[in-house]
Each structure stands twice: as C-alpha cells, then as structure tokens.
Amino acid sequence: MLQQIAPQPPWTRLGRHLESAFRKALFEFDLIGNTNKIGVALSGGKDSLTLLYLLKAISGRGFPNLQITAIHVSGEFSCGSQIQPSFLKAICSQLDVELITAHQNQKKEDLSCYPCSRERRSLIFNAAREKGIEKIAFGHHQDDFIQTLLMNLFHKGEFASNLPKIKMVNYGVTIIRPLIYITEKEIISFATHYGFNRIVCRCPVGQNSMRKQTDQLLNYIETKFPNVRSNLAYAGRIYGSNKAKKP
C-alpha cells in the first residue's frame, strides 16, 4: 500500500527524535535560508529516503512550503542500482515530489569510488541547475561525518570532515547535510520500523571501500572506548569545521 511506502507524521517516539535532530541542523547551520526549492539526492536507500521523508515532514511547519525535487542516478553499479523505478515513483507521487532520473555509465573494469562519486555528483548538480535548484540535500549522517574525519586525518593530516553546508562554486549549487546529528543506527531503526530498510547497492568495490574499512575500525575502537563515535562527532563539529592545513 502506498501509505506504507511513504511514512509521514505523526511519528513514533524515534521519528519525533529524528525530526528534532533534523530541525536542529537546519536551524543551527541555516541550511535552507530564503529558498523554497530544494533538491534531494535520492538513491532509494535508507539514508536518502529518511532525508526525503523528514524534509517533507518539516515543509510548511516552521519552514517555508518547500518545492522538493528528488534526483535519482541510475546505472548498473550506482548506489541505488537495485531500486525499481516504480518504487521511487510511487513514493514521490504520494509525497507530491518531482522525480528526475539521470543515468550513470560506470563499467565494472573501471570501477573506483572517487571517480564514480564525482560523476554521480556532477549528474545531480547538472540536473538541479537545469531546474533552477540552488540547494541539494544529501543523506550523509553522523557516522559518515566521523568516517570522513578519520580518513582525512589518516590520509591528509587534516582534522576536517563533511561540512553541513558547502557551496560548489563551479556548479552554482550548495550541498546541505541535514542528517548530521542523526546516527546510522537511528536511521536503521527508523527505516526498519517503516519498512524501507533494504540493500540498494551492489557495487563490488563499495563493499570493501576505505569508508567500509574505516567503519570496521571504529567498531573495534568502540569495544575499548564506547563513546568514541559521539566524542569524534562532537570534536569534529567544534574543532574541525574549518579544513585544517598541515603546517
């Protein structure tokens, strides 16, 4: 049933907590500003769907009535490659959200996370620009923030992570990340409760990416220091908001 596909308020207790954390990020970092046109990078996975549902939930409730456009990148090895187009169309139709689909042509022999991500973002940015959309929401949550912080520290000697808001000057758009205060565990619980927690990525490279390995490292550290994730998230927001350069 469509009503089960696209959950909307009133939420459970967890849903109310997620919306509160979502609103906190929007207000604290002024993510929406004066615009009412927002693009959503929609893979169809738990993170991007949670983002879409929460964004729709706050529209007109303390924020402007938002004109939301979902942008999905399809392709054999894209992050949402196992999602049926009819599934996303049904969700967006119920939520009164426009859905745009762009296609990615990654080949298995050339697969690599960084160029794949760059191509996917370029497709999303170009689609948004054609619609006159200047702000695009991505579903990066607190655990993505922590992983990026460690990867930058280990590889570059920079104590810096994903910024809640960053202007992509060459494309004329701004990325916003409203899930920055929400953990992956909370998203999994939310998605499981509402029935949209499913695996949508079948990229053979992504299953053993540096990000996955970093998360496994965090899992190990967490057995010794139970508060490591929340402490890193706090430190990253307080001390790592500006990209530190090596001396």
pLDDT in tens, 135-157: 999 999 999 999 999 999 999 99
Tell me which residue of 84, 25, 88 sits closest to 53, measured CA to CA. Answer: 88
Average pLDDT, rounded, for the chain: 89
Q: Distance (Å, rounded) from C-alpha 70 to C-alpha 63?
A: 19
Mean per-residue pLDDT, 51-72: 97
Say which residue the tokens 């729709």 belong to. Answer: 56
- Over range 30-47, report the average pLDDT: 95
51-68 mean pLDDT = 97
pLDDT at 109: 60
Amino acid at 39: G
In this prediction, residue 241 carries a pLDDT of 58
Query: Per-residue confidence at 104, pLDDT binned at 50, 70, 90?
Result: confident
Q: What is the pLDDT of residue 143?
A: 97
> Which pLDDT value is given to residue 239?
82
For residue 7, say if its preceding peptide bond is cis, omega within 30 degrees of 0: no
Least confident of 32-46, 172-186, 229-243: 229-243
pTM for the complete prediction? 0.92
Q: Quick: pLDDT tens for 169-197.
A: 999 999 999 999 999 999 999 999 999 98
Q: How confident is the model at residue 245 (pLDDT cuts 50, 70, 90)?
A: very low
Q: What mean pLDDT is predicted for residues 92-100?
A: 96
Decide if pLDDT at 81 tops 70. no
Confidence category of residue 118, pLDDT binned at 50, 70, 90: confident
